[in-house]
Amino acid sequence: MSPGEKLDPIPDSFILQPPVFHPVVPYVTTIFGGLHAGKMVMLQGVVPLDAHRFQVDFQCGCSLCPRPDIAFHFNPRFHTTKPHVICNTLHGGRWQREARWPHLALWRGSSFLILFLFGNEEVKVSVNGQHFLHFRYRLPLSHVDSLGIFGDILVEAVGFLNISPFVEGSREYPVGHEAPCSHALPQGLWPGQVIIVRGLVLQEPKHFTVSLRDQAAHAPVTFRASFADGTLAWISRWGQKKLISAPFLFYPQRFFEVLLLCQEGGLKLALNGQGLGATSVNQQALEQLRELRISGSVQLYCVHS
Ligand code: GAL
């Protein structure tokens, strides 16, 4: 995509995420739009011959320290004569009550397809097409935004699906577009309006910049993530930088979701579903915005306003 070219319009409810093939374990990825009832995660892989255990964690965040909460920890263990699965929740650094499921239909050396189907109250897990277990949530599903896969497992593919392919508008997996790209804001920004940018950070990233411009190409407000020094900042029309004191949530080869909510006289920012405060912008300047410009070391999957 050439600079300045526009992305095709994308339906509002579009949240499909492209599948990932042969990721290197340990593997952590953002789940676009987080988890909600009706979403499915598919995991296809092989259990190595010398496997001891592996785990699939549906996490609330992806920081390494402090360790994020894990709403659902799915942990097949193979070191005993009877392979079994342990499920649990990690909350505030503490494991909760463990649940154990015997008769796991997974063996060392076998390939498998595991489906995690998220409902309102519980997650159901099927292994090779057979229902295997269900686990009642102990933490709100809406807090989950990351998937982590660790241990002795060869992952062939991870897929993110919706129960009904029609629910969220598209049957196709999205295709990423290299930044820069530009998106028109014909009416400017008004309180209540939301801008969503979803994408993947490239390898060896330098920066990721979202700027909002008016007709004269002045940018009264720009959001910038700098990988060199791991900072997030708002940049004013005159180039003044106001650092955002928040963890740096962009990582090479991980997905991200930036949400900008326009409110009276300002913009609120959320990154991967986490609120990161607001910046004030003159309401008239917001109404006069005409273009959303995204540049930097990212591949974009969805831009909408
Ligand atoms: C612990 C184990 C953790 C986790 C937990 C689940 O014994 O060290 O990795 O599997 O059990 O309850």
The reply to whether 21 and 131 lie within a common domain is: yes
Of the chain, the percentage scoring pLDDT greater than 90 comes to 63
The reply to whether 222 and 157 lie within a common domain is: no
**Is 50 exceeded by the pLDDT of residue 136?**
yes
| 6 lies in some domain | no
Q: What is the CATH number of the domain that holds 236?
A: 2.60.120.200
The reply to whether 142 and 190 lie within a common domain is: no
Q: Give me the domain span that covers residue 37.
A: 15-161
Distance 52 CA to ligand 1 centre (A): 13
In this structure, the residue with its CA closest to atom 8 of ligand 1 is 95
The reply to whether 25 and 126 lie within a common domain is: yes
pTM above 0.75, yes or no: no
The reply to whether 97 and 183 lie within a common domain is: no
How many domains is the chain built from? 2
| 5 lies in some domain | no
| Banded pLDDT at 156 (limits 50, 70, 90) | very high
The reply to whether 95 and 198 lie within a common domain is: no
The reply to whether 137 and 234 lie within a common domain is: no
Q: Mind listing the pLDDT tens digit for each residue in 208-244?
A: 999 999 999 999 999 999 999 999 999 999 999 999 9
| 245 lies in some domain | yes
The token pair at 225 is: 């993530």
**Is 70 exceeded by the pLDDT of residue 172?**
no
| 109 lies in some domain | yes
Distance 80 CA to ligand 1 centre (A): 15
Distance 50 CA to ligand 1 centre (A): 19
| 183 lies in some domain | yes
The reply to whether 25 and 109 lie within a common domain is: yes
The reply to whether 300 and 184 lie within a common domain is: yes
| 90 lies in some domain | yes
The reply to whether 268 and 212 lie within a common domain is: yes
User: Which residues are near ligand 1 (CB < 6 Å)?
Assistant: 73, 75, 86, 88, 95, 98
| Banded pLDDT at 89 (limits 50, 70, 90) | very high
Distance 85 CA to ligand 1 centre (A): 11
**Is 60 exceeded by the pLDDT of residue 254?**
yes
| 8 lies in some domain | no
| 171 lies in some domain | no
In this structure, the residue with its CA closest to atom 10 of ligand 1 is 75
96 CA closest ligand 1 atom index: 12
Q: Mind listing the pLDDT tens digit for each residue in 42-77?
A: 999 999 999 999 999 999 987 777 889 999 999 999
**Is 80 exceeded by the pLDDT of residue 169?**
no
Distance 79 CA to ligand 1 centre (A): 14
The reply to whether 289 and 240 lie within a common domain is: yes
